[in-house]
Amino acid sequence: MPSVSVLVPAYQAQAFISETLNSLSNQVFRDFQVLVSIDKSDDDTKLITKNWSQNHKNIPTRIFCQTHRLGWVKNVNFLLEKCKTKYFMVMPHDDILDKNYLQKMVQCLTVNPQACVAFSDIKAFGDLRRRRPRLRRRIFEKIRRANWIITQNSIKGNRCERTREFLIHHLAAVAFRGLVNRAIISELILLPENDGFNFAMDSVWNLQMALKGELIRVPEVLYHKRYHDGSAHDLWRKIGSEDRIKTWTEHCKDCIKIIFRAGFEPEELDRLIEATKSRLFQEVHPLWSYEEISSLDEKDRASLLENLEKTIISLAEAKNYSSSLLLRGEYK
């Protein structure tokens, strides 16, 4: 069995899938297999993928064709359950890898045996000029000034330190596109779902990774992320202003639930609750719903915080922790 699996969830991908798969055939590192799950599509994704597999018989490839629509979360989870190799990564059907990507990620995990994920910097590409009016102004300016390169720092330290760092600084799901060391995570971790359009489930998945081990950045642009109409990001951008705020709040509640399930002591939860509040209001890094949240008046901000705190109170009471002490940060 190969040491690496590249998991490619695909849906209506005929315009992109060839470039994605060809970037795999160009990899310097060769000890890998490809698992493709084609969510029920009515285009030529299946034909293109099968033709590629026939033309690249030196690369072990398994193609799964779903008979009913799964959606992106369930499609990723289907592949995660099929994967048994030492290392694996999720690669959306429209992205492209540098030829050295797998080699450098494997090298990084080899020299950092305590790490569960190795990830590189990401270069955005696609029809960016036409997309500019749709991008949130502040986010667009930040990415544009960085020459369309998206980066996040490594996450190191003990479990509480890693979790706090993730909550404050890792809003975009850069590490979701990294290579995972199965030995460190020790168990299968699936993407969760929620009622908020399944927004940021990749980030929630990375939070669970940060609980398991370190996330190490390889500071090179080795991954290329395509932006285009019809992607999940494009669909999320079309959500109305009020739903943006609700969806982001649900995401922060998802983070709180994971933190409580992780078994932190109350004094550690103090720090992590404050970090989640910082995430809620995007105090360090603006993201998807920043314009809506930053424009809230004091009364609406208090209401938003109260909504999050209701979840905290419920979870604290279930563990017999004092919710009042947790919310005031007074656990010692």
Determine, yes or no, domain membership for 181: no
Is residue 255 one of the residues assigned to a domain? yes
CA distance linking residue 116 with residue 168, whole number of Å: 20
Position 200: which residue type?
A
Can you tell me the mean pLDDT for 39-43?
95
Last residue of a domain, one of 62, 95, 128: 95
Is residue 118 in some structural domain?
Answer: no
Q: For 129-194, give the secondary structure using H, E and C.
A: HHHHHHCCHHHHHHHHHCCCEECCCCECCCHHHHHHHHHHHCCCCCHHHCEEEHHHHCCCCCCCCC
* Higher pLDDT pick, 22 / 265: 22
**Structure confidence at residue 233 (pLDDT):** 61
Retrieve residue 102's tokens: 């797998």
At residue 41, does pLDDT exceed 90?
yes
Does a structural domain hold residue 172? Answer: no
**161 in a structural domain:** no
Give 215 or 332, the one with higher predicted confidence: 215
135/60 Cα distance (integer angstroms) = 39
pLDDT digits over 6-20, tens only? Answer: 999 999 999 999 999
Q: What is the pLDDT of residues 91-102, one digit of tens each?
A: 999 999 999 999
Q: Domain count of the chain?
A: 2
- 6 lies in which domain range? 1-95
Model confidence band, residue 199 (pLDDT cutoffs 50, 70, 90): confident
Q: What is the mean pLDDT of the chain?
A: 89
The stretch 36-56 carries a mean pLDDT of 97
User: DSSP characters for 188-221?
Assistant: --PPP--SSTTTTHHHHHHHHHHHHSEEEEEEEE
- Predicted local confidence at residue 232, as pLDDT: 61
C-alpha–C-alpha distance, residues 41 and 255, integer Å: 32
Tell me, what CATH number does 59's domain have? 3.90.550.10
By DSSP bridging, strand 179-181 and strand 87-90 are: antiparallel
pLDDT band per the 50, 70, 90 thresholds, residue 234: low
The tens digit of pLDDT for each residue in 109-143 reads 999 999 999 999 999 887 654 444 444 555 555 55
pLDDT of residue 135: 47
The C-alpha atoms of residue 245 and residue 123 are separated, in whole angstroms, by: 28
Per-residue pLDDT for 3 more than 50?
A: yes
pLDDT of residue 235: 64
Domain final position from 95, 119, 135:
95
Q: What is the pLDDT of residues 250-300, one digit of tens each?
A: 999 999 999 999 999 989 999 999 999 999 999 887 877 788 888 899 999
Whether residue 107 lies inside any domain: the answer is: no
Examine residue 81 and state whether it is found in any structural domain, yes or no. yes
Closest CA to 175 of 214, 125, 126, 127: 214
* 13, part of any domain: yes
Which of 46, 75, 95 terminates a domain? The answer is 95
Q: List pLDDT tens digits, range 149-169.
A: 999 999 999 999 999 999 999
